[in-house]
Amino acid sequence: MKTVTISHLGRHIGEEVAIDGWLHAKRSSGKIVFLQMRDGTGFVQAVMVRSDVSDDTFTEASALTQESSLRITGIVKAEERAPSGVELQAITLETLQLTHDYPITPKEHGVDFLMDHRHLWIRSPRQRSILKIRAEIIRAIRAFFDDREFTQVDPPILTPSACEGTTNLFHTKYFDEDAYLTQSGQLYMEAAAMALGRVYSFGPTFRAEKSKTRRHLIEFWMIEPEMAFTTHEESVEIQEQLIVYVVSHVLRHCEQELRTLGRDIDRLEKVVSPFPKISYDEAIAFLQKNGHEITWGDDFGAPHETEIAAQYEQPVFVERYPTSLKAFYMKPDPMRPEVVLCADLLAPEGYGEIIGGSQRIDDADLLFQRFEEHQLPADAYSWYLDLRQYGSVPHSGFGLGLERTVAWICGLEHVRETIPFPRLLYRLYP
């Protein structure tokens, strides 16, 4: 008997095949049983009619429970009433394990309960769809950079000290030395860009911040491209192309999953070039006009970002923030040294900042001056200062937060559903 995946059943109409999977749901009456099967590739309904099978088989099917593992053989039928257009007319049944008391019932559940059962929750159609889309977004991001001859470089996860010196890091020991989990691979990626030209990293990042909002994870994944001989404006252009590419890839490859999530496809179809660009100055003026008590030099809070982004149907770049607000390595605008050559990309629909990027300081003296201003230990970063001593060039880069991007594209309420096993404040299980 040929075993096929549910996703390929449509190619076997009229044939007798076997499927291996789990029972997602069951409905039955005295003489017919409907078995909703899932195998990871999709969902299909197997229909078992009492008169078609042996009494033992029918009794066994009637007694099956949610999430029992089983193998069913039957004839593949085209069926208009089925969501996938295909059904299996069951003939034989082999129960691998009869499950008892599966915790996640077809009824509603609270966040706490579902998070405690995350290892089982990911079996649900909704969670499966999100993880599929996450995988496709990752595939699209890699394809985008690989096609443009970027080289993937993996920065270290254990680091001797803070990269940016702003957020709280996870502390650990490296034998007798202190070590920290990385909060950004950027400085290492600048070194890599001087070696390989155009590079990108894709890996986990850790922030020991006591943040508890729908936009925060303690452990999250970030894509950090870094490009030699690239200006701020050129970097922003690449960021825009990347986002357009990723969204169109998901629209093309994940139609079924987006439908399962109930995502408003129209909103995603509006993500095309060019994206609006406004300056920090214009954003401040806009907020002031709308009654916010904010002055030039203040940073935006989450409500500010949401209000700015709400003006547009596409992601919006906010450029040239005050130098005092941004990281030490960002290059000042030569025409206006009080602002830096940077941009944040704000996603629509209140999802907040998904990209932060800038042109980096390439002048050795200015960078050293910044270290003193920010009271950073120059000796710990002497390798980074070396990059400006030996063939310094204009270069730019950015960081894309994967989970926020997934949450936005999927239209989710919270980033905790975008990663298989989220690490959240006070939640390290499962």
Partner RNA sequence: UCCUCGAUAGCUCAGCGGUAGAGCAUCCGGCUGUUAACCGGAGGGUCGUAGGUUCGAAUCCUACUCGGGGAGCCA
Q: What residues from 281 to 310 belong to the interface with RNA (CB under 7 A)?
A: 299, 301-303, 305
Supply the minimum distance, in Å, between the C-beta of residue 373 and RNA: 16
Q: Is 134 in the site for RNA (CB under 7 A)?
A: no
DSSP of 322-366: BGGGS-TTBPEETTEEEEESEEEEEETTTTEEEEEEEEBP--HHH
Q: Cβ(354)–Cβ(401) under 8 Å?
A: yes
Q: Which of residues 332-351 bind RNA (CB under 7 A)?
A: 344
What are 315's two structure tokens?
Answer: 């992601």
Q: Under the criterion CB under 7 A, does residue 187 sit at the interface with RNA?
A: no
- Contact segment (CB under 7 A) with RNA among 131-139, 216-224, 231-239, 372-380 equals 216-224
Q: Which stretch binds RNA (CB under 7 A): 3-11, 79-87, 196-204, 308-316?
A: 79-87
Q: What is the Cα 54 distance to its own chain's centre?
A: 48
| CB nearer RNA, residue 197 or residue 203 | 203
Q: 3-class SS at 280?
A: helix
Segment 105-124, which members bind RNA (CB under 7 A)? Answer: 105-113, 115
Q: Which is nearer to RNA, 111 or 195 (CB)?
A: 111
CB of 240 to RNA, least distance (A): 15
Residue ranges with strand state E in 161-315: 171-174, 177-181, 198-206, 219-228, 277-279
Which of 207, 249, 331, 370 is the binder for RNA (CB under 7 A)?
207
Kind and range of the H or E run holding 75: strand 69-78
In the bound complex, what is the minimum distance in angstroms from residue 208's beta carbon to RNA? 10
Site for RNA in 217-246 (CB under 7 A): 217-218, 220, 222
| Binder of RNA out of 38, 134, 249, 404 (CB under 7 A) | 404
Piece in contact with RNA (CB under 7 A), picked from 99-107, 152-160, 189-197, 332-340: 99-107
CA distance 402 to 130: 13
Report the Cα 83 to chain-centroid distance in Å: 28
Whole-number CA gyration radius for the chain: 26
Nearer to RNA, 332 or 356 (CB): 356
User: Which is closer to RNA, CB of 164 or CB of 237?
Assistant: 164
Under rule CB under 7 A, which residues in 258-277 are in contact with RNA? none
Grouping H, G, I as helix, E, B as strand and the rest as coil, residue 370 is: helix
* Residue among 138 and 364 whose Cβ is closer to RNA: 138
Whole-number Å distance between alpha carbons of 393 and 335: 19
Residue 18 token pair:
């076997």
